[in-house]
Amino acid sequence: MVLKEMKSTLPPGSYYFSGNEAAAEGAIAAQCGYYGGYPITPSSELMHRIASRFRETGGVFMQMEDELASICSVIGAAWAGARAMTATSGPGFSLMQEAISYAIMTETPIVIVDIQRVGPSTGQATRPGSGDMMQAKWGSHGDREVIAISPWSVQEMYDQTINAFNLAERYRVPVILLSDEAIAHLRERMEVRERITIFNRRKEKGAPPFGAGDDGVPPMPAFGEGERLLVTASTHTEYGIRKTDDPLVQAKLSARLHNKIVHKREDIIEYEKYHMEDAEVVVIAYGFTARSSLFAVEKLRQEGKKVGMIRLKTIWPFADRLIRNLGAEAKKIFVPEMNMGQMAGEIMKYTPCEVISFSQTNGEAIYPHTIMEQLGRLL
């Protein structure tokens, strides 16, 4: 595991970027060398910026013929040695699911930015939603452990894209940035620091490319390094040899793919707590909704109400321990979402506490006063 400190690709200082632009710059900062994408509102500006900036940075940009070609080319490039990514929205994300399953089974590090919009299906292309939370986790056949992150600011679109690349390389897994139209098109000041930390993929010549390694994560070789790699998404041995008639091989592989993320979730999961000291009602929020939630919570605290907030930065793997331990503190948990309670359901799994799911799926961001009104009824 080699952490490398590098100079930033942008001169350090303040920038006034949109979320899409910031994510593109984050990818460049993270040394992204290949982008294969397809236009889809509201993610396209990210691709535009990459297309022009890669001419300066020397990255390879391909606009492919559809989302399937995009994600497949990203995986191919990753195995050729690239730090590779794509960006899309809900409908495009749906098209990519089979390939994401392939990336999980072959343990290919890739980054997918999903700028969520209103669904289902075509929905409202230019309006925010949070309808892909479960798709990020379970979008393809078979079991699936991925890492998914929900940024809430333009700054995080930059920082968390860098983090996404590092996590993908560290755990050899697809990492999904679950953003939405509101953040993607929001313009905000963000800071670029002098130096950033990049995780370089582990190399170990001759080591089994699908073997356990020290922590369940194998080294990541590339084509052209003389390893004569055998990459297949069929059930395979540690050397990539297809072995579909042996229950032991499948059991071992399935367990390792699961455990390498689940057993390390405490290292992966990030969240923030606000005003939790004596909170009786806890708001659990993520992404753009968390901004309105925090405003509401702070306003209510000024009025002396015992309300706190947890912002989930990591969506998957889910912060189950955090939720389990909440029960002791909180009496009620309030979960505002721009979907029909996708994360509220997940939270309910881990706590006996009353969970109030608040859904707003009209294509508008949830405003602070809405959250205040809802919380008012609980307090």
Partner 1 sequence: MPFCPGCGDRILLRLILTAIDELKLNMGDMLFVSGIGCAAWIPSPHFNADTLHTLHGRAIAFATGAKMFNPKLKVMVISGDGDLADIGGNHLIHAARRNIDLAVICANNMVYGQTGGQVAATASKGILTATTTAGNYYRPFDLCKLVNAAGATYAARYSVTQSTLLISSIKKALQTEGFSFIEVISPCPTQFGRRNQLDTPKATFKFFEDRLITKEDAEGLSPQELEDRIITGEFSNGRS
> Is 81 or 368 the residue whose CB approaches partner 1 more closely?
81
Residue 140 sits in the site that holds partner 1 (CB under 8 A): no
Select the span of 45-53, 196-204, 236-244, 273-281 touching partner 1 (CB under 8 A). Answer: 236-244
Q: List residues bridging with 284 in a β-sheet.
A: 310
Residue 174 sits in the site that holds partner 1 (CB under 8 A): no
Give the 3-state secondary structure of residue 356.
strand
Size of the site for partner 1 (CB under 8 A): 41
Judge if the upstream peptide bond of residue 208 is cis by omega within 30 degrees of 0: no
In the complex, least distance from residue 229 CB atom to partner 1, rounded to whole angstroms: 5
Q: Which of residues 72-91 bind partner 1 (CB under 8 A)?
A: 72-82, 84
In the complex, least distance from residue 33 CB atom to partner 1, rounded to whole angstroms: 6
In the complex, least distance from residue 211 CB atom to partner 1, rounded to whole angstroms: 17
Strands 332-337 and 281-285: parallel
In the complex, least distance from residue 170 CB atom to partner 1, rounded to whole angstroms: 21
Give the 3-state secondary structure of residue 151.
coil
Identify the CA nearest to 72 among candidates 46, 127, 43, 34: 34
Over the window 215 to 234, marking each residue x when it contacts partner 1 by CB under 8 A and - when it does not, the resulting string is -------xxx-xxxxxxxxx
Q: Which of residues 93-112 bind partner 1 (CB under 8 A)?
A: 98-99, 102
CA distance 213 to 238: 10
> Is 226 or 247 the residue whose CB approaches partner 1 more closely?
226
Residue 327 sits in the site that holds partner 1 (CB under 8 A): no
Distance from chain centroid for Cα 53: 23
In the complex, least distance from residue 282 CB atom to partner 1, rounded to whole angstroms: 43
In the complex, least distance from residue 175 CB atom to partner 1, rounded to whole angstroms: 18
> Is 72 or 178 the residue whose CB approaches partner 1 more closely?
72
What DSSP string runs through 153-219?
SHHHHHHHHHHHHHHHHHHTSEEEEEEEHHHHH-EEEEEE-SEEEEEEPP--TTS-TTS-TTTS---
Identify the CA nearest to 103 among candidates 128, 53, 68: 68
Strand (E) or helix (H) holding 370: helix 368-378
> Is 228 or 377 the residue whose CB approaches partner 1 more closely?
228
Structure tokens at 167: 């996590």
In the complex, least distance from residue 82 CB atom to partner 1, rounded to whole angstroms: 4
CA distance 19 to 331: 36
Angular region, 59: left φ>0, alpha ψ -120 to 50, beta rest? beta
Over the window 237 to 276, marking each residue x when it contacts partner 1 by CB under 8 A and - when it does not, the resulting string is ---xxx----------------------------------
Select the span of 60-68, 121-129, 150-158, 367-375 touching partner 1 (CB under 8 A). Answer: 60-68
CA distance 149 to 315: 5
In the complex, least distance from residue 302 CB atom to partner 1, rounded to whole angstroms: 53
Identify the CA nearest to 185 among candidates 113, 128, 133: 128
Enumerate binding residues for partner 1 (CB under 8 A). 33-34, 36, 60, 62, 64-66, 68-70, 72-82, 84, 98-99, 102, 222-224, 226-234, 240-242
